Amino acid sequence: MDQRPRLSDVAARVGVSPASVSLVLRGAPGPSAETRERVLAAAAELGYRADRTASLLARRRRHLLGVMLDVRNPFHAELVEELHVEADRSGYEVVLSTLTRNRDEDGAIETLLDFRCEALILLGPDADSSSLDKLAEQVPCVVVGRMERDAQVDVVRSADDVGVDAALDHLIGLGHSRIAFVDGGSGAVAQARRRGYRRAMRRAGLSARVLRGDHTEEGGVRAGKELLTDRPTAVMASNDRLAVGVMDAFLRAGVDVPGEVSVVGYDDSTLARLAHIDLTSVNQDAAGQARNAVRAAVSRLDGGRAQRSEFVLVPHLVVRGSTSAPVSRT
């Protein structure tokens, strides 16, 4: 049985109506300063907390933004933190639905629809354009992190070609010419970064070498072990998790980073900033992506915007201790 104190309990303690208590707790005008003080004191004494779910259900609109994310992705965690900040500023709540080993995108999205979220913000989805288009017919959708031109969804993304170019320009500028790339798998974001790597290497007149990977540290470890048999002087990974896996494989094999091999990641996640990792990585401006994603959703819901929008942010390279000039091998 639910024994939590209710609004009526606070009202009875103070000797005012529940409506007056509600006004005080919402910060609305009406009650006197003395009444406000007594209500807040009673609420604290009773341990009263507003039932957010009941409050939302009582409104004509739910003001819920559904966010799909990969729980294993540290960059998604940063985005979610910023999304919460922006949503709160706009008067919205955030509902999270995660991808896991046993839960795919369809299942995560279905959960958000079951919660009757007013709009969806999808972080790095792999769904094809047709599936996104069908989803957008049900509810406004914002896709974060990837290019999407065919579906009627709003897009917020980083210019991946610029980010990849910055990373490779840095390595080439240091004197590297044998630069391998650890692929991030079959997803749309990984494909864009792989294309950017191949294009940049062709432009520089260098031979491309792409190793199969995924989006995990384990994938990076496998690629790192493969690289040990024909070692390049530098490695760029499709994301920070892969880069950390590559560095782990090198460390266990006694290969010094950056003394023998330089390593660059992508996302500039919390992993990259750890002192013992100190990974050079491409920063995608998590706060900027979150801000524009929430604004895109709210402008449809509150402003009535119907036309599709796209926000492209310019990434920048953060140079740390995992890269240096190549050392001549004798």
Does 255 fall in a domain?
yes
Report the number of distinct structural domains present in the chain.
Answer: 3
Does 307 fall in a domain?
yes
CATH at 28? 1.10.260.40
User: Is 225 found in the same domain as 164?
Assistant: yes
Chain centre to alpha carbon of residue 177: 32
User: Is 279 found in the same domain as 172?
Assistant: yes
User: Is 223 found in the same domain as 153?
Assistant: no
User: Is 145 found in the same domain as 105?
Assistant: yes
Does 280 fall in a domain?
yes
The C-alpha atoms of residue 330 and residue 321 are separated, in whole angstroms, by: 24
User: Is 26 found in the same domain as 174?
Assistant: no
Residue with tokens 């017919």: 137
User: Is 149 found in the same domain as 197?
Assistant: no
Does 57 fall in a domain?
no
Does 325 fall in a domain?
no
The pLDDT score that the predictor gives to residue 56 is 47
User: Is 302 found in the same domain as 242?
Assistant: no
User: Is 66 found in the same domain as 44?
Assistant: no
Q: Which residue segment(s) compose the domain that 71 sits in?
A: 62-158+285-313
Per-residue pLDDT tens digits for 290-302: 999 999 999 999 8
User: Is 211 found in the same domain as 149?
Assistant: no
CATH at 98? 3.40.50.2300
User: Is 255 found in the same domain as 224?
Assistant: yes
pTM > 0.85: no
Per-residue pLDDT tens digits for 129-160: 999 999 999 999 999 998 998 889 999 999 99
User: Is 224 found in the same domain as 167?
Assistant: yes
Q: Which two tokens stand for residue 142?
A: 């914002």
- pLDDT tens for the chain, residues 1 to 330: 456 788 788 889 889 887 778 777 766 667 788 888 888 888 888 888 766 555 544 445 678 999 999 988 889 999 999 999 999 999 999 999 999 888 899 999 999 999 989 999 999 998 999 999 999 999 999 999 989 988 899 999 999 999 999 999 999 999 999 999 999 988 888 888 999 999 999 999 999 999 998 889 999 999 999 999 999 999 999 999 999 999 999 999 999 999 999 999 999 999 999 999 999 999 999 999 999 999 999 999 988 888 899 999 999 999 999 999 998 654
User: Is 258 found in the same domain as 120?
Assistant: no
